[in-house]
Structure 1
Amino acid sequence: MKQPNRLWVAIKLSLKVLFVIGVFVGIFSYAMFQGGFVSWFLFYTITMLVILMLLYAAIPLGSFHVTRDMGEGARIAGSEMKVTVRIQRKWPFPFLYLSVTDEIGDSLKKQIPAHHSKMIFYPTVKKELEYSYTVSSIKRGEYFLYGIYLETSDMFGLFKKRKFIEIKESLLVYPNYHEIERWSAFERHDMETRLSSMDFVEDITSVAGSREYVPGDKLTSIDWKVTARASKLMTKEFEEYIGQNFLVIFNNHVPNKNQPELEAYEKGIELVTSIVMYATKKRLQIGLWTLGEANRAYPLDAGADHQKRLITHLSKVEADGKGNFASRLKEYESEVPTGTTMIIVSAELTDQMLERIKVFLSRRVQVYFCLMDRGNIKDSWEEKRFEEIKRLGAEAYLLSGGNLDQAITTNAGD
């Protein structure tokens, strides 16, 4: 927050004090020359008010202990967030009112009614004051909160007291996601890829650790070295083997940032988040590219740390108004790992994108294309391109939301 110039503040305070003294001298002169009960009563009344105002100007605002509570736990887009501000005073300053404003970033301020983060407290003897405001349906993104702004003044507004208490906090709201149950992209149904025996599994998996032997475990799985150290039978634990890698490519370009296209963009973020969560649940290796004006590429990996990196990126990413997704995809296509299943999520489908998909299909790359519906914005040529993708052998889904299972059910009914 920008601090006012100290010299200018001192000049204004001096002028206000001179004004009060001038009023006092004027009333005193009036009483001396006019005489009578009324004039002297007016003089003593004004004198009391002047003394109170000067005392008010001299007494500091005091020391405050201010806290902000936003609750605990991760925030998911669409959830309600309640913010509670508490102000504790060491001694009851005699204010006529106390205005308290939680200074928050513009992106968060746009999601609440005007002045919703502000509260005015009127004269009270309480040493602890508290108020709350609510963000009914918070959007995904990174938000910043800066501090609490306190303000009060005398009854005439001549002497104002202000104090800013810095409480910097950041809030990361994660995208919403949907559980995926019906999608078979991550499963192997062909007999050639099924693991026919536990011996083969043990050959191609890596040892994750050891545990105590229980009846029914194979004797060939016993870890004899650990058994010798522990003086009891220990058996090997193996990591789950998955023979495929999955690369999610998200079109971060939004040509026109109108409401339907931005909603489709956000639903695309939900879909990508759902795929990432599902991949982590199934212990799959997954990579993520967000391509637009600014590109971000996360290589194939697995595990909780990798999931956190991807979800954090999806929480912060913003739509690009410039750039060309197809040209960006062409730049990166040589970096697509061999044997990778590609999942493209986009709110648009252009001729250039169709050409790139044809190239990947010609290289025997399995492609899943998810087109986010933009509502009333219809494009007959886009519909023809979408059908062409299906004809070429790629899996294609048209989604009105971020729920992939719902789109699969709809396609199954066609």
Structure 2
Amino acid sequence: MVRSSSSTQNQSDRPTPIGSERRSSRAGRRFKRNPVLYGIIAVMIVEFLTGMATGFDLSVRLYYALAILLLAGWLWAKSSSDQMTAEIQRPKGPYTVGDLISETVILRSSGGTPKAWVEVEDETDLPGVQFKQIASLGLMVAFDHLQMSGTVSRRGEYTVGPLVARTADPFSLFPQEIQFGGHETVLVYPKIVDIPDFASPSIHLLGDNSRRQQARVLSTDIASVREYEPGDSLGRIHWLSTARTGELMVKQFDQGSSSNMWVLFDQHSDSFASIADDSTDEVGATVAASVIDKYNQGSLPVGYAAHGSQSLVAVPERSAHQREQIMRHIAVSKPVGNVMILESLAELERDLGQNTSLVVITASSDGPWVEALSGLARRGVRVSTVLIDRGSYGGKPNRDALDHLTDAGVSTYPLARADSIASALLSRLGGDEKGLWQASVRAHSGFSEISQVASADSVADDTEQFQGGGQ
């Protein structure tokens, strides 16, 4: 269930995706300006005036020859565009970063003039993707089958289209652009990587078997009911409310007595830094999507909160509908928010109890939010912070936040540019359980050159206590 959702964009102004529907329609034809054409017209005017003034026969003949050339070129170009049609086949999305996006264009000419060179381009704002090829059409009825593809490299919402065919007469005096169809929306989800189980209740509650089991079952306490949404399990339908209202109603469980997880993705503008196509926001989106995907598939109710160009606060659920809504938000929201982490934590505080895991993904500098996380951890909230090294992305270093988090005892996972996300989530700093995790050495970044070394005296004390307990 979504508690709040807002956007700085007008949703109604967005085009509706058409998917793989075949279309063949001409939106317009445009003659482009050509300096050669203007030069020929200027010569014609000069030759005409010269012939009229002097009676020089060659000037008059040259004038008529150029006039015939222009007329023939214009008729050729007009005939070429009038007899050309196109069909566009675009596969349905959404896509994920790294996917291959391809489309098929069938260009046809119903006869008339041959077209040895036709530039076909499906205009798009997809980063690093260019749908452009050269086609050739014969004298009689002919067609050309074009296959164009590219790899999507960045999440977001983009447009593809319209299709533009560029052609001209043999003298290139009247180049034209012919548009076919409109544009479609393409949604690109963030990349999802395989990550270790670093934040589930069974990781934090060592030896607590009962709570480990609670993380896999629904609470028996029903807090309320709501309308059915696609993806809800039929086993959660509340039949009495359904019969009373005449609409499918599902149970809302009280999550206070069962384990759940919250994911907080920081999209404040001050936390953003980038080098070329690599950015703190892009890697943060990958981490957020991977965490939600892993624990949602593991039957753990997962909630999500983020405030970027769009805001979303979704309470923990396991429905496919909510997962889709969260993934869509991660895909389209940009790091231009003005809500600080501390404000987001205050908003979620009432939902964070002893059976709650909180994963914070941020590239922020040190601040009061660190003490807030430490306070939540002391209350029994299982806090895990994925701290993105902003300095490795060309921004202001945030090593101070790493030091403060580890000193405060908050489980922290440093993540620098070019680090493997899976490996970084195996390298924990801070937290209550000592000696369970080994911090990785990142010499290339200098961000976390920290290792945990257990002293011989500490090991001896633990051994004596163990032996004493055994007696």
- Tell me the TM-score normalised to structure 2 length: 0.62
Return the offset for 1:64: 3.7
Give the share of equivalent positions with the same residue, in percent. 18
Structure 2: give runs of 5+ residues left out of the alignment: 1-26, 33-37, 223-232, 236-254, 429-436, 439-451, 453-471
Return the offset for 1:151: 3.0
CA contact (8 A) 2:261 2:358 kept: yes
Return the offset for 1:18: 8.3
Return the offset for 1:363: 3.5
Task: Identify if the C-alpha distance between structure 1 residues 33 and 365 changes in structure 2 by more than 3 Å, giving closer, same or farther.
Answer: closer
**Pairs within 5 Å for 1:48-87:** 49-50=69-70, 52-53=72-73, 55-56=75-76, 59=79, 61-71=81-91, 74-87=94-107
Q: Show the counterpart of 1:407.
A: 424
**Pairs within 5 Å for 1:141-290:** 141-183=156-198, 185-187=200-202, 189-193=207-211, 204=220, 243-255=258-270, 257-260=272-275, 263-290=279-306
Q: Considering only CA atoms, is the larger Rg found in Structure 1 or Structure 2?
A: 1
Distance 1:117 1:344 in 2: 39
Across the aligned residues of Structure 1 and Structure 2, the Cα RMSD in angstroms comes to: 4.5
Secondary structure of the structure 2 residue equivalent to 1:61: helix
Distance 1:330 1:404 in 2: 24
Task: Identify if the C-alpha distance between structure 1 residues 375 and 81 changes in structure 2 by more than 3 Å, giving closer, same or farther.
Answer: farther
CA contact (8 A) 2:165 2:177 kept: yes
Aligned positions, number: 360
Render the CA deviation track for 1:302-338: whole Å, top value 9, x for unaligned. Answer: 1211111111111112112x52423422551444254
Distance 1:24 1:121 in 2: 38
Render the CA deviation track for 1:3-37: whole Å, top value 9, x for unaligned. Answer: 9999x99xxxxx999879868968997998548xx
Distance 1:27 1:124 in 2: 42
Distance 2:110 2:175 in 1: 20
**Pairs within 5 Å for 1:368-379:** 368-374=384-390, 376=392, 378-379=397-398
Task: Identify if the C-alpha distance between structure 1 residues 95 and 48 changes in structure 2 by more than 3 Å, giving closer, same or farther.
Answer: farther
Distance 2:67 2:212 in 1: 96
Distance 1:340 1:266 in 2: 26
Q: Show the counterpart of 1:220.
A: none
Q: Show the counterpart of 2:332.
A: 316
- Tell me which moved more, 362-371 or 308-317: 362-371
CA contact (8 A) 2:218 2:258 kept: no
Secondary structure of the structure 2 residue equivalent to 1:111: coil
**Pairs within 5 Å for 1:118-157:** 118-121=132-135, 124-125=138-139, 127-157=142-172
* 1:384 and 2:403 are equivalent in the alignment: yes
**Pairs within 5 Å for 1:294-373:** 295-320=311-336, 323-338=338-353, 339-373=355-389
Task: Identify if the C-alpha distance between structure 1 residues 20 and 56 changes in structure 2 by more than 3 Å, giving closer, same or farther.
Answer: farther
Task: Identify if the C-alpha distance between structure 1 residues 184 and 326 changes in structure 2 by more than 3 Å, giving closer, same or farther.
Answer: closer
Task: Identify if the C-alpha distance between structure 1 residues 359 and 160 changes in structure 2 by more than 3 Å, giving closer, same or farther.
Answer: same
CA contact (8 A) 2:190 2:289 kept: yes
Render the CA deviation track for 1:71-123: whole Å, top value 9, x for unaligned. Answer: 46652212333344332223354446433232223xx1x424xxx43444466
Distance 2:265 2:213 in 1: 32
- Tell me which moved more, 368-377 or 46-55: 46-55
Distance 1:163 1:92 in 2: 17
Distance 1:180 1:98 in 2: 48
Render the CA deviation track for 1:207-234: whole Å, top value 9, x for unaligned. Answer: 966xxxxxxxxxxxxxxxxxxxxxxxxx
Distance 1:340 1:351 in 2: 23
